[in-house]
Amino acid sequence: MNASTTEQAALRLAGVTKSFGPIEVLKGVNLDIRRGERHAVIGPNGAGKSTLFNLISGMFSPSAGEIALNGRSIAGLSPHLINRAGLSRSFQITNIFHRLSVFENLRIGILARHGMRYGLFRPIARMRQVNDETTEVLARVGLEARAHDLAGDLTYSEQRALEIGMTLTTGAEIILLDEPTAGMSREETAQAVDLIRTVTEGKTLLMVEHDMSVVFSLCDRVSVLVYGSILATDTPTGISANRAVQEAYLGEEAA
């Protein structure tokens, strides 16, 4: 192991492999996410991006390899323990509490941050700190006007904003966003990019994204995942100049 880079990495993947039966979806992924950077994973459909996120966040265990969060192994831990260790993710398909109000959707995560997971002996209405922090997140994602509406009644882009808000509530330093602008109009995408930029200020961001303009305007570094392994990791300009990447991925789009 290279000691100097290990210290730097907020998240480090070494030789991460995942097979579903005979199909090897990830074939030894190596990836270092530096503390405080905004990092995108791009790649064609079926390259294994979602599987990669599911392994990091604990939905699946890797078949082989090591995943370390701040130097501590998290491979195979259950999702709630990974979240408590400081890594929070959003979902590609909106994954909210449809029959709860927007405010309550956010408050669940705030309660978790304060360790009030089994609070049974005090009414929630009197928890000033929790309710104030919920209001704060509500304002950051621009949903104040919708606070008391059911989350299931929000528009699609509002639900996407709520999804990002929920990901922030637990106070994690490392945020994983899975295609946060998927299905959005150009205008909505621009708003979402602004939102992601402000809310991830001072945090480490790893995102899967298909929209190259989003990647190029938001991210410090980009990794290209093709057929289950990382082809290259570089700055956005470096990646677009990379001949192998052009051939394997960007070239397809250009052609």
Applying CB under 8 A, the span of 43-51, 74-82, 135-143, 190-198 interacting with other proteins comes to: 74-82
Q: Contact between 72 and other proteins (CB under 8 A)? A: no
The secondary structure element, H or E, covering residue 226 is strand 221-226
Interface residue with other proteins, options 79, 183, 238, 251 (CB under 8 A): 79
Among the residues of 1-48, which ranges form H helices? 3-8
Q: Contact between 17 and other proteins (CB under 8 A)? A: no
Interface residue with other proteins, options 8, 15, 64, 80 (CB under 8 A): 80
The secondary structure element, H or E, covering residue 52 is helix 49-57
Q: How far apart are CA 64 and CA 77, in angstroms?
A: 14
> How far is residue 214 CA from its own chain's centroid?
15
Q: Which is nearer to other proteins, 78 or 237 (CB)?
A: 78
How near is the Cβ of 200 to other proteins at its closest, in Å? 18
Among the residues of 58-208, which ranges form H helices? 79-84, 102-113, 128-140, 156-169, 186-199
Interface residue with other proteins, options 3, 120, 254, 255 (CB under 8 A): 120
Cβ atoms of 171 and 83 within 8 Å: the answer is no
Residues that bind other proteins (CB under 8 A): 57, 78-80, 83-84, 88-89, 91, 95-100, 104, 107-109, 111-113, 116-125, 127, 130, 166, 169-170
